Amino acid sequence: MECRSEERRQYIVNNYNVVPVAHIQLLNGQTKYSDAGQTKYSDAGQTIENDYYIFEATSKANGKKEIIQCGMTAARDFLKKINHEGLPLLNPLHGEGGTGKKGSKASGGNESKEVKWNPIAKQLYNAVMWVIVIIDAKPNTAIYEVKEKVWKFKSYEPFPSQVKAVNTIIGKNIVGKTLTQAIDELRHDNDIRDGMCDFDKLVDIIGNYKDKEGNPVVIESKF
């Protein structure tokens, strides 16, 4: 949805329920395409070079949902207009502040330090956000549904079925490699924090997965 001018953004807020769904650091070396087959562009009319937001806009008239993808200037304006404090930045890079490219400092902005994360929930959330970044996932898809549930109940251990669901999504969307292997390919151009790529607890859950009757189920880990 085009949102280039302040007037256009005000029109959108007046006529749509606008909700931020993701705040993501664009990594160096990533290649993402719009439906026009071009490099990722902002709906505000400029190339996104650093962190960006994805908003979901639901029409107040007919309930139709649309997606807004924009850089920080337009995102801050939307957040101000909808009176939202903003989302934590998914930033897997070392450093604090800057462009987020290798050899320079990356944007800061992580989740609130006041929250006590369950360690498995944290690994699952990191895995989910990596999947969103790598496959350029759109809102209203299964991976976003898992994201919302894990975020909402971050203090609790996720159900094994949630881990299995993400494992299945990875297998269907990152073909021929594991999530860790896909992340490793991004390391060539990005100084990635290892703590964002630790999925050992998720691998253990998949390796010891059981069905509702308690019978072992053999599943190949995609983490």
Kindly write down the DSSP assignment for every residue of 48-101, as one continuous string.
--SEEEEEEEEETTT--EEEEEEEHHHHHHHHHHTT------B--BSSSSS---
Per-residue pLDDT, 133 = 87
pTM of the predicted structure, to 2 decimals: 0.77
Per-residue pLDDT, 40 = 57
Residues 6+ away with beta carbon under 8 Å from 169: 131, 142, 143, 146
Q: Which residues of the chain fall short of a pLDDT of 70?
A: 29-47, 94-114
- The H-or-E segment that residue 23 falls in is strand 16-25
- Hey, where are the domains in the chain? 1-110, 111-223
Residues 6+ away with beta carbon under 8 Å from 64: 58
